[in-house]
Amino acid sequence: MLADFYKPGELPISFELYPPKTDKGLRSLMLQVEHLMKHKPAFITCTYGAGGSTRGKTLEIVEKVKTIFQVPVAAHLTVVASTIADLRSFLAEAERRGVDYIVALRGDPPQGETKFKPNPKGLRYANELVDLIKDEFNEFGVLVAGYPEKHREAPDEKTDIENLKRKVDAGADVVVSQLYFRNSDFYAWREKCEKAGITVPIVPGIFPINSLAQISKIAKLCGAGIPKKLYEKLNEKPEDAEWHKAVGTAYASQQVNDLVDNGVPGFHFYVLNQAEATGKILTALNEHRTKKKDDSPVKAR
């Protein structure tokens, strides 16, 4: 089972990819995955474009990754613009291609639209999608998204956590957080989730920053706040991509080291099809864990 990865004493990692637009991009992606595999991920996921624009490509990629690298894979699935028949068709095809898990999401409105509009023959919420999967395709493990800084459409945090609990009660196996940059936000949110009765693993989603312009755009879309000191550090060299990568990697390493010291069950990395930064973060994490183990007092027998 999917949740079995997150047993006490384990620290599974997973990586999220997105479908490249060209054959050259796909070849590059496979090289990046080859590098990522050195870190022995528990599984690899792949998202798709707004409104399901690259949904078929997602299945091609996860099938290819599983075939080449012999690692479990998860395909993202949203209800946006889909009928229930469309969703069943995708799930049946995912099953045929050997997909192991589904990341079940409501999804964002298509580009150019500001409000989510369900398909009249589709579903409205992610918990309904989890219900469909567990009722008709229960061989899939299911991951769902959680929001340490609240989903931008939720009226308040309490409502947002109630929505998350509905997804878990429908059968979700694991919660993966949206990207965030303040661990204090994650810890406070995790505590509230646990008090609400959410008992499945709650996994932090880590975003290694590659560029100031990129993260500014993504953070705005996701409703994630960038700490003032981090933004100012990045903005010391606003056009220097290498500087942004170095600052972002160092910051994420500090995040991850602190999180592992505070008992997270694993990590999910939004790698943006690039292996270098995540590799450095995981190397630093291994060094941190080794040092912490070496510094632990030896108990008398």
Three-class secondary structure of residue 57 per DSSP: helix
* pLDDT, tens digit, 9 for 90 and up, residues 52-72: 556 779 999 999 999 999 999
Give the ranges where 145-182 is alpha helix by DSSP (H): 157-169
| Residue 39, pLDDT above cutoff 90 | yes
pLDDT score for 119: 83
Residue type, 146: G
- Name residues whose C-beta falls within 8 Å of residue 49's C-beta, 6 or more positions apart in sequence: 19
pLDDT score for 51: 54
CB 141 within 8 Å of CB 170: no
| Residue 183, pLDDT above cutoff 80 | yes
Mean pLDDT computed over 236-264? 96
pLDDT score for 203: 98
| Residue 298, pLDDT above cutoff 70 | no
What are the sequence ranges of the domains in the chain? 10-293
Mean pLDDT computed over 261-286? 96
The mean pLDDT value of the chain amounts to 92
Residue type, 169: D
| Residue 103, pLDDT above cutoff 80 | yes
Q: State the Rg of the chain over Cα.
A: 19
267-270: strand order across its sheet: 202-203, 174-177, 141-146, 101-105, 73-78, 43-46, 13-17, 267-270, 205-206
Active site residue: 10, 16, 136, 236, which one? 16
pLDDT score for 52: 53
Give yes or no: 153 in active site: no
CB 266 within 8 Å of CB 42: yes
Confidence of residue 300 (pLDDT cuts 50, 70, 90): very low
C-alpha distance from residue 54 to each of 61, 171, 283, 300 (Å)? 11, 26, 33, 58
* pLDDT, tens digit, 9 for 90 and up, residues 186-229: 999 999 999 999 999 999 999 999 999 999 998 988 889 999 99
CB 62 within 8 Å of CB 102: no
Confidence of residue 293 (pLDDT cuts 50, 70, 90): confident
Of the candidates 138, 195, 184, the one whose C-alpha atom is nearest the C-alpha of residue 162 is: 195
CB 177 within 8 Å of CB 145: yes
CATH of 10-293, one of 3.30.470.20, 3.40.50.300, 3.40.50.2020, 3.20.20.220: 3.20.20.220
Mean pLDDT computed over 246-254? 97
pLDDT score for 111: 64
Q: How far apart are CA 116 and CA 58, in angstroms?
A: 22
Strand (E) positions, 109-215?
A: 141-146, 174-177, 202-203, 205-206
Q: What's this model's pTM, rounded to 2 decimal places?
A: 0.94
Lowest pLDDT segment from 6-10, 17-21, 292-296: 292-296
Confidence of residue 2 (pLDDT cuts 50, 70, 90): very high
Query: Token digits for 251?
Result: 């910051």
Query: Token digits for 272?
Result: 């943006």
